[in-house]
Amino acid sequence: MKRMTAVLSALLCIAALPALSADASEAGNIPALQEWLLTGKNDLPAGCDLNADGVVDVFDLALMKRFKNECALEPMGTVHTGEATFYGGGYEGGCAMLDPVSRDYWITAMNYYDWNNSQLAGAYLEVTGELGTINVLVTDELPEGKKGDLDLYTDAFPLIAPVEKGRVPCSWKIVPRDTALDAPVSYRYKEGSTAFWCGVQIRNHLYPVTRFEYLGADGQFIEVPRRNYNYFETMDMGSGPFTFRLTDIYGNALVDENVPLMEPDVDFEGGIQFPE
């Protein structure tokens, strides 16, 4: 009887939730959480307690739908067009501050407009030119580029176009980062981080992160401002352990609990990853 009452309550609440576009409703954890609330048959997706009240319920589902509507940058698989050039930087000292960048990756700098205050720092792109398609990691900013432009590393450019052309048309889209397909997001604290001032960088995300929040002492999530060099920085976050809420560019929101305040320049693996 209790289960039936809960299901009926869930149905009533879900029916009252705002409608979503087809693209938004088919992506992320929304269908899985809705199925779990109604039937309890599938496994509960990780990180679904979005309001951090200790219970996963229709209120968390409502928050998921709200984030989909508020935070989605573009439909998944959107193709961008621009011009590709090449340069010799990005593995060290790139604006995304992702050092050390593995030489297993081809890398690129991204134009100012799509970089968007480091929103696409660490994005994984599928880039296509006249000679073929490669995957590249966004590690740097291209301040002088037009929207859609990329500045590939010198070894990557010849894989999509003849080097002698120097500047060529290209297309690209965001794809899941390979190392994040079977591993959680990770966190890195900026040098000087304490309980009174803290810089946090999100790493190994399946898709780029657009919003970062921490759970305050009053039980409310507080959004942290982002800097153009790919750190979220704030005052008085506390000494941890923290509860973080992350939202990606497709509006998928997840909660990660018990994240400690670590020494700087050390990656800490979290307990969640965005849905594919």
pLDDT digits (tens, 9 = 90+) for 210-264: 999 999 999 999 999 999 999 999 999 999 999 999 999 999 999 999 999 999 9
Q: Is the pLDDT of residue 128 over 70?
A: yes
Classify domain 80-174 at the CATH class level. Answer: mainly beta
Is it the case that residue 136 has pLDDT exceeding 60? yes
Residue 60 has pLDDT above 50, yes or no: yes
What are the pLDDT digits (tens) for 80-102? 999 999 999 999 999 999 999 99
Residue 24: band (very low, low, confident or very high) from pLDDT cuts 50, 70, 90:
very low
**Residue 33: beta bridge partners?**
none
**pLDDT score at 276:** 86
The predicted structure's pLDDT at residue 38: 87
Of 159, 170, 101, 153, nearest in space to 131 by CA: 159
Residue 130 identity (one-letter amino acid): E
Place 31 in a pLDDT band, splitting at 50, 70 and 90: confident
Q: What is d(CA 269, CA 86) in angstroms, rounded to the nearest whole number?
A: 33
Q: Please give the C-alpha separations between residue 154 and each of 7, 149, 226, 250, in angstroms, as whole numbers.
A: 58, 15, 30, 31
Give residue 80's pLDDT: 98
Percentage of the chain surpassing pLDDT 70?
90
| Per-domain residue ranges of the chain | 1-74+180-276, 80-174
Report for 2-11, 40-49, 191-200: range of highest mean pLDDT: 191-200
pLDDT band at 8 (very low <50, low <70, confident <90, very high): very low
- Mean local confidence (pLDDT), 136-156: 97
Whether the per-residue pLDDT at 27 is higher than 70: the answer is no
E strand intervals along the chain: 80-87, 106-111, 124-129, 132-142, 150-153, 168-174, 186-189, 197-203, 209-215, 221-223, 232-235, 242-248, 253-259, 268-269
Q: Is 189 left (phi over 0), alpha (psi -120 to 50) or beta?
A: beta
> In the CATH hierarchy, which fold is given to the domain comprising 1-74+180-276?
Immunoglobulin-like (2.60.40)
Residue percentage of the chain with pLDDT more than 90: 80
Per-residue pLDDT at 101: 95
The structure tokens listed for 224 are 């942290």
Structure confidence at residue 42 as a pLDDT band (50, 70, 90): confident
Mean pLDDT of the chain: 89
pLDDT of residue 11: 39
From CA 168, how far away is CA 156, in angstroms rounded? 13
Lowest mean pLDDT among 18-27, 179-188, 214-223: 18-27
Residue 37 has a pLDDT of 87
Q: How far is CA 2 from CA 11, 47, 149, in A?
A: 14, 25, 57
Q: Can you name the residues that pair with 174 across neighbouring β-strands?
A: 125
Query: Which is more confident, 71 or 246?
Result: 246
pLDDT tier at 10 (50, 70, 90 boundaries)? Answer: very low
Residues in the chain: 276
Contacts of 231 (CB under 8 A, 6+ apart): 97, 190, 199, 200, 201
